[in-house]
Amino acid sequence: MKKTYFLPVLFSILISCNFSNNNLEKFNIEALPDFIDIGNKNDSNKLLILGNSIAVHPISKSIGWHSISGMAASNVDLDYVHLLHNKLNNLIPTNTRVSNVALWERSLSIDSLKSFDSLLNYRPNIVIFQVGDNFPADTTKIKQAYISLIKKFENTEIIICSPFITNEYNRGIAETISKENNLKYVNLSDLSSNKENLAEFDQSLDSLKKNWKVDGIGVHPGNKGMSMIASRIFNVIEPYLITNKTH
């Protein structure tokens, strides 16, 4: 599988999910790719995933994370982005571009996305928004900022995911926006209520847990949780692709 890492600038930022009591916000990330491409750029189906650390997290030795992959899959091929890409690619040749937009989640400002033009110019035909875990406490601005970001992608199939873990700041926002704007919606919030979907309780990750320096990694989805996320998103995208694959 071909992967392209786009790093015009290396910079230290905070991108990990803002789960309660996770201690992740205190740590800087050594290097964050603006985006990662998986597949062939010439493929007709172009998927863009705007996510947070669940989608892609750079190497961060300070917290004990040692791969550029979705946290907390045991390896990059088992994170939901790669699992979803493979499912879609079996239906139609697909190029997937993934970008961690946790800075936007926290600031609600598109100006925080230094490579936003490259995401727009990619001209995806499907955009997945897997955001919300890092939303700030100021709930009055979230909905407006979210809709403004969505509207940047015209003539595109939009899919909105709920946060993996909900709280008083993010609960119900994604579902409300999807209903009010007739957009496809994927519920992920119930997955975190089953501890089997969390990295902390995923036995397949036992050999890696000794490296983790913060508890927050464990509240991310493990391998099973990642598989569930990929399947739920795929089930929403599949009918669209089948309908449009010959067009």
Which residue's structure tokens are 């700030």?
Answer: 136
| CA–CA dist 210, 112 (Å, integer) | 34
State how far Cα 212 lies from the chain centre.
21
| CA–CA dist 71, 85 (Å, integer) | 17
Q: What is the pLDDT along the chain (247 residues), one digit of tens a residue?
A: 556 544 333 333 334 455 544 545 444 444 677 899 999 888 889 999 999 999 999 999 889 999 999 999 999 999 999 999 999 999 999 999 999 999 999 999 999 988 899 999 999 999 999 999 999 987 789 999 999 999 999 999 999 999 999 998 899 999 999 999 999 999 999 999 999 999 999 999 999 999 999 999 999 999 999 999 999 999 999 999 988 874 4
- What is the predicted pLDDT for the residue at 3? 64
DSSP label at residue 162: P
What's the first-to-final CA gap in the chain, in angstroms? 26
Pull the structure tokens for residue 160.
Answer: 């909105």
| CA–CA dist 113, 67 (Å, integer) | 22
3 state DSSP class of 24: coil
| CA–CA dist 179, 169 (Å, integer) | 19
Do residues 76 and 22 lie in contact, with contact meaning Cβ atoms separated by under 8 Å?
no
| CA–CA dist 79, 221 (Å, integer) | 9
Cis peptide before 72, with omega less than 30 degrees from 0? yes
Does the structural domain 3-244 have CATH classification 3.30.450.20? no
Q: The pTM is what?
A: 0.90
Pull the structure tokens for residue 211.
Answer: 């490296």
